[in-house]
Structure 1
């Protein structure tokens, strides 16, 4: 309660406010009486002190020091009973209290300090009891709404009616959890303010008040604690700390909502686990028939006769060493962050996790070209949010679109291959579309030492002990492989007799020790010729 309200009690009749009129609205939580010179060590914030000033009757400096320390400690005020030990309050004390805007009261002689304390504390206790009664009543009201299955939205309506201010539930990204008709720009300002690198630390335990000057809107946030990141009850309006009744009412709502959110989260986690198990079994080919896949997919809103694009995201930091529990918690929070962004996208996107990756399946209703740029922009926003909230980089590989849901395993492999090749090239925080890889591109991904070993093992003496006629033999072998092992076509291209080609090929077989007519061997030789070109290219560059 405020000091002005306390002074209106009959017990304070005849009390004069000599100084600190500007502090008359200070909060008073309790009243204490001075019985020792070192009372300042036992006073608390928002405490009113009454005294006979026995210890200060001949010591003005000590009185001034007491006033200074009480102001510093945030006390409510000082009441001095005059005409007993101190005939009147010194002008120096009044002037000093006015300077500090600290309430200084002159208590009448006929009023007992004990009565002042008893009556004041009794009144404060009655107010506190009434506040607690109203808070319990509100808690019961909110609990009944949850038990009856009316949900969080009904609690917000009820709370708004009780405190006569609009109330919105925000997620940990400071976005409304329901699609209410509120000005979205307000929450974008709030999100920018509270997620910027230079914002002040938001309290995790008590309410916080913000004034968004751009819209001249004041909001008050109350944390809603769950086992995950906190949500927030956002009250569109200012609630002063002195309004304990309203604060207690809102806190009861946050407690009930917290339990409801934990229940909803448990259900969501179970649904998420079932979705991920289905997708894992689908990708691994664990279902016996296509009909079973289509039926199970329909349970999760996945229609077979629908085109899809698959994007696979994975964190770039592979060196991070954290416990399994920490990893699990971070993965869930990143999942929530991605899911939050997907809900704002104009196309339906399904989200799964598999092998430390986040899989996004986007339904395509129109042309892929019409939504490609907006989808890429969405992935960039996700990258930015994950970097801001978790200090992690995430990269995405995107598949070609699948004509129907049954083709998703192919799209998933395209996306993961794209992600793999992008990572092999040393890039981070990239978004790459799937492109079929040519043989030279694939070979460049293999370490140079391994390529060279494959080349020398395949060509044997051609690589280790080259002689004058080897170049001619290799040319004949190369043309033979390019013509799909057709002797006549090889002879025609080399302008030699067919028997000459046969002779040269037999010499090649002697040198490499294997038949050039075997299908596996011809594939190996063709790769070796490609590798030979890469090795020669590297030698020229060096």
Structure 2
């Protein structure tokens, strides 16, 4: 877009004279108007160059101060005043006032009719705008062809940077360089040097100042490339003011639009592959958990999805933690989950050998299948999670299963990892990594109410469930030792420091009190469980 200074440098407009400081004439000129109305500012858009004969101000030109103020507030590009008809000359006070409020005044000589000047200026502006529009559409056609021909994004950025002869960088949602033009191949500083200085705002396009190698400020523009609504990519252009004519912002926006289609296409292709991996994982877990399963060659079936022969297999269950009210939005959750999955996909493979990542069906979660023993697994996961939190304030959580020696036991590690993750969420554990803890039979009763447990203990142990008298407490203790030593009288007597006959007598008493044969396997199991469950109340 041309500024007033640019227009006055064109030969056909050389008779026009700028009376105020040129540095105040840097606003773009988008159109031209002629008017003699003092309140014209109410009826014109921004960035207008107003032409006038100042007829109504011929008796007192200082009344023009109010007009200048209104045009300044409207962000007009300037005021052109024709002399020789109603004004012999422009009062120096008017020029001085315009300078004081940083508003440009242009003198239009008597020899130039305002109607002809209006036509010439508009024709020039419209021709330039048409040329810029045509160039932008050419860019769209050219790069749309690259899209159809499945050209890589790196090639697209390289071609685009060469077309506009300016350094260009594509930044991913993690604020990392995704691709950069060839301008950085011979530069002393990589593209990351400039991106690290940028703070991306909420606007879809913006221009900001950053420092070059000499610590001097220079201009950078960025445009949102939206495949995601909350976490878009960004197209960054260095020194946009040096882009040669006729490249315009519209041309850059067209390039961003084509880029968004390319990224969207790549995303959908990857999602199709991820869906196949998810179906494979779901089928493998279901079959491995099924009773009387038939042997399957999972390594052969899963070669496409990264499965390899190893001596150690372990599953890590992962998801992104919700932190605030905006997280309740389904679209936001989907984007966060996708970003977490991509982050793990790109980072885990740099630290862990033969790791394969899968999405979990019908959830926003994912699992990593680690196929070799990894000593410092928790440290690796923590560092990866901390880096993502630092970049996007997204927190990852991990449930870690145990190691198994064959691919046929992956389902066991999967269940353990998922259980560890669910425990971490339900118990509000502050750590972001939780290792599965092996559980005994008691864990089966964790979700049963205390009253139901007490009822089971009392029905099974009778008066020995929660004894108060010393004799009953001693009988309960003898029964527990006897069952723990697999009903061996000698070992029980030795442990309690009593005679064998005393143990026989006490066990007979327990049998009579409980009313069942203690040596019956099913009764023995119930007694062991009841003793364990009632133990806390007998301490």
Q: Structure 2 length normalisation: TM-score?
A: 0.85
- Structure 2 unmatched ranges of 5 or more: none
Return the alpha-carbon distance in structure 2 between the equivalents of residues 147 and 20 of structure 1: 51
Q: CA–CA distance in 1 between the matches of 2:190 and 2:262?
A: 26
Equivalent residue, structure 2, for 1:369: 375
Q: What does the per-residue CA deviation read over 1:259-289, in whole Å, with 9 as the maximum and x for residues that have no partner?
A: 1222222212211211112112222227965
- Preserved CA contact (<8 Å) 2:47 2:76: yes
- Cα contact 1:239–1:247 (8 A) shared by 2: no
2:337 aligns with one of 329, 334, 338: 334
Residues 47-126 of structure 1 correspond to what in structure 2 (within 5 A)?
A: 47-126=48-127
State whether structure 2 residue 461 is matched by structure 1 residue 459. yes
1:356 to 1:344, Cα distance in 2 relative to 1, 3 A: closer
1:296 aligns with 2:301: yes
CA contact (8 A) 1:146 1:152 kept: no
- Kept in 1, the 8 Å contact 2:398–2:432? The answer is yes
Tell me which of 344, 349, 352 is aligned to 2:358: 352
Decide whether aligned partners of structure 1 residues 157 and 184 sit closer, same or farther in structure 2, where only a CA change above 3 A counts: closer
Q: Which string of whole-angstrom CA distances, capped at 9 and with x for unpartnered residues, describes residues 335-354 of structure 1?
A: 32342254134135432232
| Residues 109-258 of structure 1: pairs in structure 2 closer than 5 A | 109-178=110-179, 183=190, 185-186=192-193, 189-190=196-197, 193-194=199-200, 201-204=201-204, 206-212=205-211, 218-226=219-227, 228=229, 229-239=231-241, 245-258=247-260
User: What is the match of residue 480 of structure 2?
Assistant: 478
Unaligned runs of 5+ in 1: 195-200, 538-542
Tell me by how many angstroms 1:80 deviates: 0.5
2:77, 2:323 → 1: CA distance? 57
Instruction: Indicate conservation of the 8 Å contact 1:316/1:429, yes or no.
Output: no
Distance of 2:411 and 2:389 partners within structure 1: 25
Residues 134-143 or 208-217, more deviating: 208-217
Quick one: distance in 2 between partners of 1:536 and 1:464? 6
Distance 1:532 1:497 in 2: 27
Q: Deviations over 1:104-140 (max 9, x none)?
A: 0111112111101111100111111111111122212
The more displaced of 208-217 and 160-169 is: 208-217
The residue aligned with 1:343 is 346
Alignment length (residue pairs): 521
Give the TM-score of the pair, scaled to structure 1. 0.85
CA contact (8 A) 1:17 1:106 kept: yes
Mapping 1:380-399, distance limit 5 Å: 380-382=386-388, 388-389=393-394, 394-399=396-401
Contact 1:174 1:190 survives alignment (8 Å): no
8 Å contact from structure 1 (residues 165, 237) kept in 2: yes
Contact 1:135 1:248 in 2 (8 A): yes
Any conservation in 2 of the 1:2–1:28 contact (CA below 8 Å)?
yes
The answer as to 2:307 corresponding to 1:305 is no
After TM superposition, the structure 1 = structure 2 runs for residues 10-29 of structure 1, keeping only pairs within 5 Å, are 12-29=13-30
1:418 touches 1:432 (CA, 8 Å); kept in 2? yes
**Correspondence for 1:273:** 275
In the TM superposition, what is the alpha-carbon distance from 1:186 to its structure 2 partner?
2.6
Q: Which residue of 2 aligns with 1:198?
A: none
Q: 1:361 to 1:190 in 2, by over 3 A?
A: farther
Contact 2:479 2:510 (8 Å CA) reproduced: yes
1:359 Cα deviation from its structure 2 partner: 1.4
CA RMSD of aligned residues (A): 3.4
Aligned to 2:535: 533
Correspondence list, 1:32-43, <5 A: 32-43=33-44
